[in-house]
């Protein structure tokens, strides 16, 4: 049995902005089911206590340079037996809304201070200096918000092994040089071999340089980030650490995303009762005020409205969609300009396109169940969860040929000779035309309901539960422990 401290800045259902929360809410549970002692640590955002009962205060930390006390609160991850430690420091975390940006979409001005405080607290708990009487074997850090923890832990004479997971290299936690001094970080960390990145302070480098093991959320993305196209200038460093870098495809929370038992659906269904999927499409069309028509191909998109997701490729196609037997539903929030463009296009093409700007959990389930096709033309995608939800719900994914999308979808070949295994359609390049071509192919195949239902069945019978990936994480922790024990030998 391993003792694992799992550090993340968002954890479903306590706080979520994207897939990191889904992973942080599900992987620890899967590890616990494999009988490991896993405890989550995250910031105590004010909004958490709007949804759940206040937690019990179990410890206090006094960190040099921090005015007042930091409390460690404890509660169970709702619906599970996994303990969550909440780092409670009201000046940093007691504010409503998004954990990273203010209501204007601008990063909170004190993000470096907030997440440095979080990382220092993670280290105190990891070194059992918070009085919790628990010493983890492994600290598993996720994304830049936790990047300083491996950097700070490496100077301890005895310490747990560290694993750093890159969920998205596009977000690196870069701050001006002065912030390094403000944070009072050890001088030796200011160097290109440590946290310095082109004269800026890089949180993510803390994880990449110092963790015993690094991984990304799909094998393909682990290879991609070692190239200039996807590496954001970190490709050299990632290549250098290549023998410590691997990829593990995310699983999905198959309790929360289970079409056979999904309270949000008009009609629940499974692979054995697939006919019961049918009522979800007209229900969705009606809910979005689209003509209720079983013959058109209903396309869906759910996601953050940012460049990564290739929403601009979808937008570029909208005028052409009017001439095809399709309808499109978009659910998303993000870039205000993209939000406005989508709303305008939806009003101009109101018989084919509808969009809902905002974040809506219920609608996201209804779209997965009601759509025929799910569009995910991301320019890059470390893993992506919605294509996995789509496969489970029988919405055929059309995806770009990148990262976790390429690792999780099997393309229908030209001759339709692989219909025993194919699960979706893969774009041949990143362009509106490539996306259009795959939509046309899907329309074509949809005419043959026999072939179409084979695709649905192939996807629905794939296993995307966390169990195999959680076992891969356990092997990764074991490798990290081995590396750490070698590193600490004189």
Which span (97-105, 323-331, 375-383, 471-479) binds ligand GLC, by CB under 6 A?
375-383
Q: Where are the beta strands (DSSP E) in 125-274?
A: 138-142, 161-166, 174-176, 196-197, 200-202, 213-216, 245-247
* Least CB distance to ligand GLC at residue 397 (A): 14
Size of the site for ligand GLC (CB under 6 A): 14
- SS3 for 87? strand
Q: Is the CB of 321 or the CB of 427 nearer to ligand GLC?
A: 427
173 with 144: CB under 8 angstroms?
yes
The site string for ligand GLC over 12-51 (x = CB under 6 A, - otherwise) reads: ------xxx--x----------------------------
- Binding piece for ligand ADP, criterion CB under 6 A, among 104-112, 325-333, 346-354, 462-470: 325-333
CB 189: neighbour CB atoms within 10 A?
Answer: 22
Rounded to the nearest whole angstrom, what is the least distance from the CB of residue 143 to ligand GLC in the complex? 8
Residue 359 contact, options ligand GLC, ligand ADP, none, Cβ 5-8 Å cut-off depending on partner type: ligand ADP
Of the candidate residues 217, 311, 345, 375, the single one contacting ligand GLC (CB under 6 A): 217
DSSP state of 413: P
Look-up of token digits 């799909």: 218
Q: Look at residue 396 and give the partner it binds from ligand GLC, ligand ADP, none, a contact being a CB closer than 5 to 8 Å depending on partner kind.
A: none
Applying the rule CB under 6 A, the residues between 356 and 385 that interact with ligand ADP are 359-361, 364, 383-385
Does residue 383 touch ligand GLC according to CB under 6 A? yes
Closer residue to ligand ADP in complex, CB, 95/304: 304
Two structure tokens written together for 238: 């990632």
* Least distance (Å) between residue 382 CB and ligand GLC: 4
Cα→Cα distances 444→39, 64, 390, 437, 440, Å = 49, 65, 20, 11, 6
Residue 38: both structure tokens together: 């896993």
Those residues whose C-beta lies under 8 Å from the C-beta of residue 373, and which sit 6 or more positions away, are 297, 298, 299, 300, 395, 396, 397, 398, 439, 442
Size of the site for ligand ADP (CB under 6 A): 18
Whose CA is closest to 131, among 60, 207, 227?
A: 60
Residue by residue, DSSP assigns 105-125 as SPBPTTHHHHHHHHHHHHHHH
Containing H/E element for 407?
Answer: helix 403-408
Judge whether 31 and 18 are in contact, CB under 8 Å: no
Q: Which is nearer to ligand ADP, 268 or 308 (CB)?
A: 308
- Residue 405 interacting entry, from ligand ADP, ligand GLC, none, C-beta within 5 to 8 Å by type: none
In the bound complex, what is the minimum distance in angstroms from residue 174's beta carbon to ligand ADP?
Answer: 19
Binders in 288-307 for ligand ADP, by CB under 6 A? 302-304
Nearest residue (beta carbon) to ligand GLC: 19
- Which does residue 207 bind out of ligand ADP, ligand GLC, none, counting CB within 5 to 8 angstroms by kind? none
- Using rule CB under 6 A, residue 384 touches ligand GLC: yes
Residues 158-177 that bind ligand GLC (CB under 6 A): 167-168
Q: Which is nearer to ligand GLC, 418 or 430 (CB)?
A: 430
Task: Kindly tell me the burial class for residue 465, based on how many C-beta atoms sit within 10 Å of its own C-beta (0-12, 13-18, 19 or more).
Answer: middle
b/e string for 245-273 if b means 16 or more Cβ within 10 A? bbbbbbbbbbebbebeebeebbbbbeeee
Contact map string, positions 6 to 45, toward ligand ADP, x by CB under 6 A: ------------xxx-x-----------------------
Distance CA 371, CA 139 (A): 40
Burial status of residue 438 (CB atoms within 10 A of its CB: 0-12, 13-18, 19 or more)? buried
CA distance 187 to 181: 9
Q: Which of 145, 172, 226, 250 binds ligand GLC (CB under 6 A)?
A: 250
313 vs 345 by CB, closer to ligand GLC = 313
Where does this chain bind ligand ADP (CB under 6 A)? 18-20, 22, 302-304, 331-333, 359-361, 364, 383-386
> Given the rule CB under 6 A, which residues bind ligand GLC?
18-20, 23, 167-168, 217, 250, 381-385, 404
């Amino acid at each position: 049995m391993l003792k694992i401290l799992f550090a993340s800045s968002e954890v479903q259902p306590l706080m979520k902005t994207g897939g990191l929360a889904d992973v942080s809410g599900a992987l620890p549970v899967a590890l616990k089911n494999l009988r490991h002692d896993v405890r989550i640590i995250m910031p105590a955002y004010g909004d958490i206590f709007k949804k759940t009962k206040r937690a019990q205060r179990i410890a206090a930390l006094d960190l040099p340079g921090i005015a007042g006390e930091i409390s460690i609160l404890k509660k169970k991850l709702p619906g599970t037996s996994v303990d969550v430690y909440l780092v409670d420091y009201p000046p940093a975390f007691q504010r409503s809304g998004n954990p990273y940006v203010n209501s204007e979409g601008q990063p909170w001005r004190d993000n470096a201070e907030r997440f440095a405080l979080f990382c220092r607290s993670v280290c105190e708990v990891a070194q059992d200096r918070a009085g919790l009487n628990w010493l983890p074997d492994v600290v598993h850090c996720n994304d830049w918000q936790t990047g300083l923890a491996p950097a700070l832990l490496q100077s301890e004479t005895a310490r747990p092994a560290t694993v750093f997971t890159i969920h998205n290299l596009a977000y690196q936690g870069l701050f001006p040089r002065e912030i390094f001094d403000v944070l009072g970080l050890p001088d030796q960390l200011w160097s290109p071999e440590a946290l310095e990145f082109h004269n800026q302070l890089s949180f993510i480098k803390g994880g990449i340089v110092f963790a015993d093991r690094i991984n990304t959320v799909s094998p393909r993305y682990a290879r991609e980030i070692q190239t200039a196209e996807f590496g954001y200038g970190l490709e050299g460093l990632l290549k250098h650490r290549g023998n410590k870098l691997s990829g593990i495809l995310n699983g999905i929370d198959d309790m929360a995303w289970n079409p056979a038992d999904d309270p949000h659906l008009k009609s629940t269904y499974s692979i054995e009762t697939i006919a019961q999927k049918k009522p979800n499409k007209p229900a969705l069309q009606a809910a979005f005020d689209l003509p209720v028509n079983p013959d058109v191909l209903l396309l869906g998109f759910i996601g953050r409205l940012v460049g990564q997701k290739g929403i601009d490729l979808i937008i570029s196609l909208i005028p052409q969609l009017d001439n095809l037997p399709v309808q499109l539903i978009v659910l998303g929030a993000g870039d205000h300009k993209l939000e406005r463009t989508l709303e305008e296009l939806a009003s101009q093409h109101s018989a084919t396109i509808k969009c809902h700007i905002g974040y809506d959990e219920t609608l996201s389930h209804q779209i997965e169940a009601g759509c025929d096709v799910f569009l995910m033309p991301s320019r890059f995608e470390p893993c992506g969860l919605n294509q996995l939800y789509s496969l489970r719900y029988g919405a055929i994914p059309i995806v770009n040929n990148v990262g976790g999308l390429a690792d999780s979808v099997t393309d229908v070949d030209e001759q339709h000779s692989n219909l025993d295994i194919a699960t979706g359609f893969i774009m041949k390049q990143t362009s509106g035309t490539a996306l259009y071509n795959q939509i046309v192919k899907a329309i074509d195949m949809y005419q043959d309901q026999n072939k179409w239902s084979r695709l649905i069945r192939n996807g629905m019978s794939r296993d995307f539960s966390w169990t195999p990936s959680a076992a891969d994480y356990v092997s990764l922790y074991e490798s990290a422990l081995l590396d750490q024990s070698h590193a600490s030998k004189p």
